[in-house]
Amino acid sequence: MFHNRNTLFHLRGQGLSDLLAQLYRLQSRIRFVQERERKRDTVPSELVEVDREFQEKVQAVAALKQRLTEAELEKRKAEGELADHREKLKKYQTQLRSVQSSREYSAALNEIDAVEKAIRATEDRFLDLEEEIETAKKDLESREASLPAETEQHEERLKDWRKEQREINDELVGAREEIGQLESAIAPRERAEFRRLIEKKQGLAVALVVGGSCSACHVRIRPAAMQILKNGREIVYCDTCKRILYYDPQSS
Ligand SMILES: [Zn+2]
Protein backbone atom coordinates (compact mmCIF):
# COMPACT_ATOMS: atom_id res chain seq x y z
CA MET A 1 0.00 0.00 0.00
CA PHE A 2 2.91 2.37 0.59
CA HIS A 3 3.61 2.59 -3.11
CA ASN A 4 0.03 2.89 -4.26
CA ARG A 5 -1.53 6.13 -3.21
CA ASN A 6 -4.96 5.18 -4.53
CA THR A 7 -5.52 2.60 -1.84
CA LEU A 8 -4.79 5.23 0.76
CA PHE A 9 -7.91 7.14 -0.13
CA HIS A 10 -9.85 4.36 1.52
CA LEU A 11 -8.25 5.30 4.80
CA ARG A 12 -9.85 8.06 6.76
CA GLY A 13 -7.47 10.64 8.18
CA GLN A 14 -7.56 9.06 11.61
CA GLY A 15 -6.96 5.58 10.18
CA LEU A 16 -3.70 6.54 8.57
CA SER A 17 -2.26 8.30 11.58
CA ASP A 18 -3.22 5.27 13.70
CA LEU A 19 -1.46 2.98 11.25
CA LEU A 20 1.67 5.13 11.26
CA ALA A 21 1.67 5.27 15.05
CA GLN A 22 1.34 1.48 15.14
CA LEU A 23 4.16 1.01 12.64
CA TYR A 24 6.37 3.42 14.54
CA ARG A 25 5.72 1.61 17.81
CA LEU A 26 6.24 -1.76 16.11
CA GLN A 27 9.54 -0.57 14.69
CA SER A 28 10.73 0.68 18.05
CA ARG A 29 9.82 -2.67 19.67
CA ILE A 30 11.60 -4.62 16.91
CA ARG A 31 14.69 -2.44 17.36
CA PHE A 32 14.49 -2.90 21.10
CA VAL A 33 14.43 -6.70 20.73
CA GLN A 34 17.38 -6.65 18.32
CA GLU A 35 19.42 -4.38 20.57
CA ARG A 36 18.70 -6.45 23.69
CA GLU A 37 19.45 -9.73 21.91
CA ARG A 38 22.76 -8.32 20.75
CA LYS A 39 23.56 -7.23 24.30
CA ARG A 40 22.53 -10.62 25.69
CA ASP A 41 24.66 -12.56 23.20
CA THR A 42 27.81 -10.45 23.41
CA VAL A 43 30.34 -11.40 26.07
CA PRO A 44 31.13 -8.20 28.02
CA SER A 45 34.57 -6.85 27.12
CA GLU A 46 35.91 -7.31 30.66
CA LEU A 47 34.98 -11.01 30.49
CA VAL A 48 36.18 -11.77 26.95
CA GLU A 49 39.62 -12.96 28.02
CA VAL A 50 38.34 -14.98 30.98
CA ASP A 51 35.69 -16.59 28.79
CA ARG A 52 38.16 -17.38 26.01
CA GLU A 53 40.50 -19.14 28.46
CA PHE A 54 37.65 -21.21 29.81
CA GLN A 55 36.30 -22.12 26.35
CA GLU A 56 39.82 -23.25 25.41
CA LYS A 57 39.87 -25.64 28.35
CA VAL A 58 36.49 -27.06 27.37
CA GLN A 59 37.59 -27.43 23.77
CA ALA A 60 40.90 -29.05 24.79
CA VAL A 61 38.96 -31.78 26.62
CA ALA A 62 36.74 -32.35 23.60
CA ALA A 63 39.77 -32.47 21.28
CA LEU A 64 41.56 -34.95 23.56
CA LYS A 65 38.53 -37.24 23.64
CA GLN A 66 38.30 -37.09 19.87
CA ARG A 67 42.00 -37.88 19.45
CA LEU A 68 41.75 -40.77 21.92
CA THR A 69 38.93 -42.34 19.93
CA GLU A 70 40.93 -41.97 16.71
CA ALA A 71 44.10 -43.34 18.29
CA GLU A 72 42.24 -46.38 19.67
CA LEU A 73 40.91 -47.07 16.18
CA GLU A 74 44.38 -46.70 14.66
CA LYS A 75 45.76 -49.03 17.30
CA ARG A 76 43.18 -51.70 16.51
CA LYS A 77 43.91 -51.30 12.83
CA ALA A 78 47.65 -51.74 13.48
CA GLU A 79 46.87 -54.87 15.52
CA GLY A 80 44.91 -56.29 12.59
CA GLU A 81 47.70 -55.49 10.16
CA LEU A 82 50.26 -57.07 12.44
CA ALA A 83 48.25 -60.31 12.61
CA ASP A 84 48.01 -60.34 8.79
CA HIS A 85 51.75 -59.79 8.39
CA ARG A 86 52.56 -62.58 10.86
CA GLU A 87 50.22 -64.92 9.03
CA LYS A 88 52.00 -64.14 5.77
CA LEU A 89 55.39 -64.66 7.38
CA LYS A 90 54.35 -68.12 8.51
CA LYS A 91 53.14 -68.93 5.00
CA TYR A 92 56.45 -67.84 3.40
CA GLN A 93 58.46 -69.75 6.01
CA THR A 94 56.50 -72.88 5.14
CA GLN A 95 57.07 -72.25 1.44
CA LEU A 96 60.78 -71.86 2.10
CA ARG A 97 60.93 -75.43 3.38
CA SER A 98 59.42 -76.87 0.22
CA VAL A 99 61.16 -74.85 -2.52
CA GLN A 100 62.45 -76.79 -5.52
CA SER A 101 65.01 -74.37 -6.96
CA SER A 102 67.44 -71.71 -5.84
CA ARG A 103 65.35 -69.16 -7.75
CA GLU A 104 62.27 -70.08 -5.70
CA TYR A 105 64.41 -70.03 -2.59
CA SER A 106 65.66 -66.49 -3.10
CA ALA A 107 62.15 -65.32 -4.06
CA ALA A 108 60.75 -66.69 -0.80
CA LEU A 109 63.61 -65.10 1.12
CA ASN A 110 62.80 -61.74 -0.48
CA GLU A 111 59.16 -62.09 0.55
CA ILE A 112 60.16 -62.94 4.10
CA ASP A 113 62.50 -59.98 4.21
CA ALA A 114 59.77 -57.59 3.04
CA VAL A 115 57.16 -58.89 5.44
CA GLU A 116 59.59 -58.73 8.37
CA LYS A 117 60.23 -55.07 7.55
CA ALA A 118 56.49 -54.44 7.49
CA ILE A 119 56.12 -56.16 10.87
CA ARG A 120 58.80 -53.96 12.44
CA ALA A 121 57.24 -50.78 11.04
CA THR A 122 53.76 -51.77 12.25
CA GLU A 123 55.09 -52.73 15.67
CA ASP A 124 56.76 -49.32 15.98
CA ARG A 125 53.51 -47.59 14.99
CA PHE A 126 51.59 -49.75 17.47
CA LEU A 127 53.97 -48.86 20.32
CA ASP A 128 53.84 -45.15 19.46
CA LEU A 129 50.05 -45.26 19.55
CA GLU A 130 50.03 -47.10 22.84
CA GLU A 131 52.28 -44.45 24.32
CA GLU A 132 50.19 -41.62 22.88
CA ILE A 133 46.99 -43.18 24.24
CA GLU A 134 48.47 -43.60 27.68
CA THR A 135 49.67 -39.98 27.80
CA ALA A 136 46.38 -38.66 26.41
CA LYS A 137 44.39 -40.66 28.96
CA LYS A 138 46.39 -39.21 31.84
CA ASP A 139 46.07 -35.70 30.42
CA LEU A 140 42.33 -36.12 29.90
CA GLU A 141 41.87 -37.53 33.38
CA SER A 142 43.52 -34.56 35.06
CA ARG A 143 41.72 -32.05 32.82
CA GLU A 144 38.36 -33.67 33.46
CA ALA A 145 39.04 -33.76 37.17
CA SER A 146 39.60 -30.01 37.35
CA LEU A 147 36.87 -29.02 34.88
CA PRO A 148 33.88 -29.03 37.28
CA ALA A 149 35.65 -26.64 39.67
CA GLU A 150 36.78 -24.49 36.76
CA THR A 151 33.25 -24.40 35.38
CA GLU A 152 31.92 -23.38 38.76
CA GLN A 153 34.54 -20.67 39.08
CA HIS A 154 33.81 -19.48 35.57
CA GLU A 155 30.08 -19.27 36.21
CA GLU A 156 30.85 -17.37 39.40
CA ARG A 157 32.81 -14.80 37.38
CA LEU A 158 30.01 -14.62 34.86
CA LYS A 159 27.35 -14.41 37.55
CA ASP A 160 26.46 -10.76 36.98
CA TRP A 161 26.30 -11.20 33.25
CA ARG A 162 24.14 -14.33 33.58
CA LYS A 163 21.77 -12.34 35.77
CA GLU A 164 21.65 -9.62 33.14
CA GLN A 165 21.00 -12.23 30.45
CA ARG A 166 18.04 -13.60 32.41
CA GLU A 167 16.68 -10.09 32.91
CA ILE A 168 17.00 -9.41 29.19
CA ASN A 169 15.14 -12.64 28.42
CA ASP A 170 12.35 -11.51 30.73
CA GLU A 171 12.18 -8.15 28.97
CA LEU A 172 12.11 -9.87 25.60
CA VAL A 173 9.04 -11.92 26.51
CA GLY A 174 7.01 -8.74 27.01
CA ALA A 175 8.43 -7.02 23.93
CA ARG A 176 7.78 -10.03 21.67
CA GLU A 177 4.24 -10.24 22.98
CA GLU A 178 3.65 -6.61 22.10
CA ILE A 179 5.18 -7.12 18.64
CA GLY A 180 2.75 -9.98 18.07
CA GLN A 181 -0.20 -7.86 19.16
CA LEU A 182 0.85 -4.90 17.00
CA GLU A 183 1.45 -7.10 13.98
CA SER A 184 -1.90 -8.83 14.30
CA ALA A 185 -3.60 -5.41 14.23
CA ILE A 186 -1.92 -4.51 10.91
CA ALA A 187 -3.21 -5.91 7.61
CA PRO A 188 -0.94 -8.68 6.22
CA ARG A 189 -0.07 -6.77 3.05
CA GLU A 190 0.97 -3.66 4.95
CA ARG A 191 2.81 -5.76 7.47
CA ALA A 192 4.79 -7.52 4.74
CA GLU A 193 5.57 -4.22 3.05
CA PHE A 194 6.73 -2.77 6.34
CA ARG A 195 8.95 -5.80 7.03
CA ARG A 196 10.51 -5.47 3.58
CA LEU A 197 11.19 -1.79 4.09
CA ILE A 198 12.59 -2.23 7.59
CA GLU A 199 14.98 -4.86 6.23
CA LYS A 200 16.04 -2.65 3.35
CA LYS A 201 16.52 0.38 5.57
CA GLN A 202 18.65 -1.30 8.26
CA GLY A 203 15.92 -1.44 10.88
CA LEU A 204 14.54 2.02 10.32
CA ALA A 205 11.55 2.09 7.96
CA VAL A 206 9.56 4.83 9.66
CA ALA A 207 11.32 8.07 10.55
CA LEU A 208 9.89 10.54 12.99
CA VAL A 209 9.67 14.14 11.81
CA VAL A 210 11.53 16.34 14.28
CA GLY A 211 11.71 20.12 13.88
CA GLY A 212 10.59 19.86 10.26
CA SER A 213 13.35 17.41 9.34
CA CYS A 214 13.55 13.67 8.78
CA SER A 215 15.11 12.27 11.97
CA ALA A 216 16.81 9.48 10.03
CA CYS A 217 18.74 11.52 7.48
CA HIS A 218 18.27 15.01 8.98
CA VAL A 219 17.24 16.56 5.67
CA ARG A 220 14.54 19.24 5.85
CA ILE A 221 11.14 18.28 4.55
CA ARG A 222 9.71 20.43 1.73
CA PRO A 223 6.85 22.68 2.88
CA ALA A 224 4.40 21.02 0.47
CA ALA A 225 5.26 17.54 1.79
CA MET A 226 4.99 18.90 5.31
CA GLN A 227 1.49 20.11 4.51
CA ILE A 228 0.45 16.65 3.24
CA LEU A 229 1.94 15.09 6.36
CA LYS A 230 -0.03 17.43 8.60
CA ASN A 231 -3.24 16.62 6.74
CA GLY A 232 -2.53 13.01 7.56
CA ARG A 233 -4.28 11.55 4.52
CA GLU A 234 -1.38 10.18 2.54
CA ILE A 235 1.77 8.34 3.30
CA VAL A 236 4.76 10.58 2.66
CA TYR A 237 8.24 9.28 2.02
CA CYS A 238 11.40 11.23 2.77
CA ASP A 239 12.75 12.53 -0.55
CA THR A 240 16.29 11.78 0.50
CA CYS A 241 16.32 8.48 2.40
CA LYS A 242 12.97 7.10 1.12
CA ARG A 243 11.72 6.18 4.56
CA ILE A 244 8.10 6.61 5.62
CA LEU A 245 7.75 9.87 7.49
CA TYR A 246 5.83 9.83 10.73
CA TYR A 247 4.53 13.17 11.90
CA ASP A 248 3.43 13.27 15.49
CA PRO A 249 2.26 16.80 16.49
CA GLN A 250 3.26 16.06 20.09
CA SER A 251 6.88 15.24 19.35
CA SER A 252 7.70 17.59 16.50
ZN1 LIG B 1 15.18 10.92 5.43
The answer to whether residue 10 scores a pLDDT higher than 80 is no
What ranges do the domains of the chain cover? Answer: 5-41+184-251, 48-157
> Ligand 1 centre from 5 Cα, in Å?
19
pLDDT band at 153 (very low <50, low <70, confident <90, very high): very high
CA–CA–CA angle 227, 230, 234 (5° rounding): 85
> Ligand 1 centre from 219 Cα, in Å?
6
Q: Cα(51)–Cα(49) distance, rounded to whole angstroms?
A: 5
Poorest-confidence range of 2-6, 88-92, 185-189, 190-194? 2-6
- The confidence score (pLDDT) of residue 14 equals 53
**3-state SS, residue 126:** helix
Q: Cα(242)–Cα(207) distance, rounded to whole angstroms?
A: 10
The answer to whether residue 72 scores a pLDDT higher than 90 is yes
> Ligand 1 centre from 166 Cα, in Å?
37
> Ligand 1 centre from 186 Cα, in Å?
24
> Ligand 1 centre from 239 Cα, in Å?
7
> Ligand 1 centre from 203 Cα, in Å?
14
Domain 5-41+184-251 matching CATH 1.10.287.1490: the answer reads yes
Supply the pTM of this predicted model. Answer: 0.65
The CATH code of the domain at 48-157 is 1.10.287.1490
> Ligand 1 centre from 8 Cα, in Å?
21
**3-state SS, residue 220:** strand
Average of pLDDT values for 209-238? 93
> Ligand 1 centre from 232 Cα, in Å?
18
Q: Cα(96)–Cα(112) distance, rounded to whole angstroms?
A: 9
Q: Look up residue 23 and give its DSSP letter.
A: H
> Ligand 1 centre from 250 Cα, in Å?
20
Whether 5-41+184-251 and 48-157 share one fold: the answer is yes
